[in-house]
């Protein structure tokens, strides 16, 4: 029987986020992003049977560990020291779509009865800690008419760089638009005008995406090289600005149950981890002044929503200009009911 079990996200940094220990790891490899796959259950670490283990599963694992793109599915038995007899094979028949953020969101079978440690699953991901493979820290679109149109800039080691059009394609643009919560990429070939060209450093590594990645960090970045580009070749991307939000259930647009628009459909937001900083971002985005601090009873007067629950585990620093800039689970993934829908009350 396919089940889901709770794994804590291993590498997910940011203000206000959990700093608990990872519930999935790679051991025995040359670096933290390659090795035998191990998961924790009830305080004990165990291995994963390689029956059904494939690149889609590795892709999710690499994403969860913050390790960039998936490279391969080596046998876990090649990584030393081997799993001990005291370790159990905890799960098998892992079945990921490949777009999940965590292994916990995939299906798997707990009834392991025909797997030994000779069949332990392994995974090989890019090592983002290697200086020869720079990994983008963040991405933004600037100089455009809105946050979803503009010149592509990538942040690395705290410095923003423009991106040369050489090697850039629609697949990379799709990932940028997805990461920014801006819908589909609709234009990638436009050149930057003289007034919108950058002036700083140019990213010196070619980025290769499949188009299915959730963030640009998961795409392959080659070693640093001299690309001989100029700012006349800066990349420009335009996306659909498909994200919006509103407060419903009251006579004021500044108080009510929170709903967000994604892919043309309105859905609610789960209150797991929701707090004052998240309220602050919503009120700011709506131009509704400062957030108030209503009681739980006051928040519940707007009633539960219906339909989709789009977002869960949102974490904001309070400095974001829009809720989609805050960290959250992948769209549509949650463990909530509509009884946990977020409601916000702003001062104006």
pLDDT tens digit sequence for 228-286: 889 998 999 988 766 678 899 888 889 999 999 876 788 999 999 899 999 999 998 88
CATH label, 244-345, candidates 1.10.240.10, 1.10.8.640, 3.10.250.10, 3.40.50.920: 3.10.250.10
pLDDT of residue 339: 92
Rounded average pLDDT over 216-233: 79
User: What is the pTM for the complete model shown?
Assistant: 0.41
- Locate all alpha helices (DSSP H) within the chain, ordered by sequence: 55-64, 170-179, 276-286, 296-299
Work out the average pLDDT over 34-41: 92
Closest Cα partner for 68 from 14, 126, 1? 126
Q: CATH: 2.60.40.420, 3.10.250.10, 3.30.479.30, 1.10.10.10. Which one for 2-125?
A: 3.10.250.10
Peptide bond into 296 cis (omega under 30): no
CB count in 10 Å sphere of residue 195: 6
Q: Is the pLDDT of residue 55 over 80?
A: yes
- pLDDT number for residue 9: 33
Output the furthest CA–CA distance in the chain (Å, rounded).
66
Q: At 131, is the pLDDT very low, low, confident or very high (cuts 50, 70, 90)?
A: low
309, 336 in Cβ contact below 8 A?
Answer: yes
pLDDT surpassing 50 at residue 208: yes
Q: Answer with the residue of higher pLDDT: 152 or 348.
A: 152
- Residue count (the chain): 348
Q: What is the pLDDT of residue 133?
A: 62
Residues of the chain with CATH 3.10.250.10: 2-125, 138-239, 244-345
* Per-residue confidence (pLDDT) for residue 20, from 0 to 100: 36
Of 3.30.70.60, 3.30.300.30, 3.10.250.10, 3.30.70.240, the CATH number of 138-239 is: 3.10.250.10
What pLDDT was estimated at residue 132?
59
Q: With contact defined as beta carbons under 8 Å apart, do 241 and 187 qualify?
A: no
Rounded CA gap, 201 and 198, in Å?
8
DSSP 3-state of 195: helix
Q: How many CB atoms lie within 10 A of CB 338?
A: 15
């Amino acid at each position: 029987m396919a089940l889901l079990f709770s794994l804590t996200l291993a590498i997910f940094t940011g203000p206000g986020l959990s700093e608990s220990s990872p519930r999935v790891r790679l051991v025995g490899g040359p670096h933290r992003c390659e090795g035998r796959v191990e998961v924790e259950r009830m305080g004990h670490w165990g291995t994963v049977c390689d029956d059904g283990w494939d690149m889609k599963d590795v892709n999710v694992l690499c994403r969860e560990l913050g390790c960039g793109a998936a490279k391969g599915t080596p046998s876990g038995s090649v990584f030393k020291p081997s799993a001990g007899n005291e370790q159990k094979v905890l799960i098998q028949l892992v079945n990921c779509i490949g777009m999940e953020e965590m292994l916990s969101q995939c299906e798997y079978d707990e009834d392991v009865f025909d797997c030994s440690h000779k069949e332990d699953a392994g995974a090989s991901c890019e090592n983002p800690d290697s200086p020869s493979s720079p990994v983008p820290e963040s991405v933004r679109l600037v100089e455009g008419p809105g946050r979803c149109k503009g010149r592509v800039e990538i942040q690395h080691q705290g410095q923003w760089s423009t991106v040369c059009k050489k090697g850039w394609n629609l697949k990379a643009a799709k990932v940028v638009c997805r990461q920014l919560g801006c819908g589909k990429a609709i234009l990638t070939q436009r050149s930057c005008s003289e007034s919108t060209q950058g002036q700083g450093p140019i990213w010196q590594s070619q980025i290769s995406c499949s188009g299915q990645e959730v963030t640009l960090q998961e795409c392959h970045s080659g070693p640093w090289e001299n690309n001989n580009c100029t700012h006349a070749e800066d990349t420009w991307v335009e996306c659909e600005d498909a994200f919006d939000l509103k407060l419903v259930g009251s006579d004021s647009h500044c108080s009510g149950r929170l709903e967000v628009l994604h892919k043309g459909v309105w859905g609610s937001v789960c209150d797991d981890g929701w707090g004052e900083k998240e309220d602050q971002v919503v009120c700011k985005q709506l131009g509704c002044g400062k957030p108030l601090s209503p009681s739980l009873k006051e928040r519940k007067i707007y009633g539960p929503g219906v339909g989709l629950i789009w977002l869960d585990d949102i974490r904001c620093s309070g400095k974001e200009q829009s809720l989609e800039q805050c960290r959250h689970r992948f769209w549509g993934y949650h463990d909530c009911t509509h009884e946990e829908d977020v409601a916000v009350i702003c001062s104006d």
